[in-house]
Structure 1
Amino acid sequence: MSGTALAPRGVHVSIETSGLVEEIEQYLASLPGPLHPPTPYVCPLGSTLQPWNAGHPLPHRTLLDRLVHRPARPADVTVAGHLRLTSRYLAASGWLQGALWDPRGRVCLLGAQAAVLAHGYGTPYTVRRARAQVMEVLHATGRPVDSPDAYNDRPGTTQADVHLLLDNAAARALVLGI
């Protein structure tokens, strides 16, 4: 019964010969199209505030760590993940120039990387590789400086510039698979 409809004996009706397809196409063409593209739903109550390390596991001490009085093993993060966490930490705590941190809790680029490491995300090796990616982006975009800290403290650099730098370095690290 593929493609045939029930009809009186001796009459063969198929979808191709019945004109049903053309009739459906004409009907669909006569319908009005959407007036405008659908807009995404935005909650009228706003968004919820999330901690800077949301979505990453908290490092926790095992029984052996507690018995030998050592800190928890660092949570495993990629170089790209470390750079994203650094940007999120900067956004949560605030940014400053000319010092690692201040009494209000604001940090510079290096201070944010140190804080992410101190909270147990990654290893010193991860931080060194992340800083190398930041330097690669700085040099590739025509901003030759001696270190990411010199760029952070340079007059005219804004917090948005630092976040963009971290985002570009994270994207580069992601492409490299690190």
Structure 2
Amino acid sequence: MMKIDINGNILELVVGDITTLQTDVIVNAANGSLLGGGGVDGAIHRAAGKELLEECKQIREKQLDGNYLPAGEAVITSGQNLPASYVVHTVGPVWNEHDDGQDDVLSNCYQNALELAVTHDASSIAFPSISTGVYHYPVKLAAETALQTMIAFLQNHQFGQVVMVLFSEQDYAAYEKVLHDLVG
């Protein structure tokens, strides 16, 4: 576990199961349908219970007019059966080495989730490594974008705690190296 102070806020890296964290908000690396899926998305939906799916269906119908949630955007639901009070659902970009705009889309995932947390009076949030699973975003590049976005946010806000929850020791090592390089 690596923990650093940024402007009185804590940024922490851990390996673990995001569905068990005691934070105000957890972030779901969702697909655009918001109807669950594999990886983190499936794990969060299973742990939260069927009520989360119903709430996501309502968001699709009422907020999104039946459309998919676009990549980089975020919506918030209650945490249902999770220890977290809220779940922010965000859709990361699918990796394409020829797409120069995908770093901005990935950054927007983190930025929009943090802003939703603030508007819901949260002081702690846990993120997975968005887009690095079935969307094949290279972990080192994703770590650079995620951590730069988080650090910039924390330098400008009195928020509290941001936890980056990594799936494997290998992912943790990549994020730890990037964080060390960014903060010295």
Bin for the TM-score computed over the shorter chain: under 0.3
- Name the larger-Rg structure: 1
Return the TM-score normalized by structure 2: 0.27
Write 1 or 2 for the structure with the bigger share of strand.
2
| Higher relative contact order (CA closer than 8 Å, sequence separation 6+) | 2
> Whose helix fraction is larger, Structure 1's or Structure 2's?
1
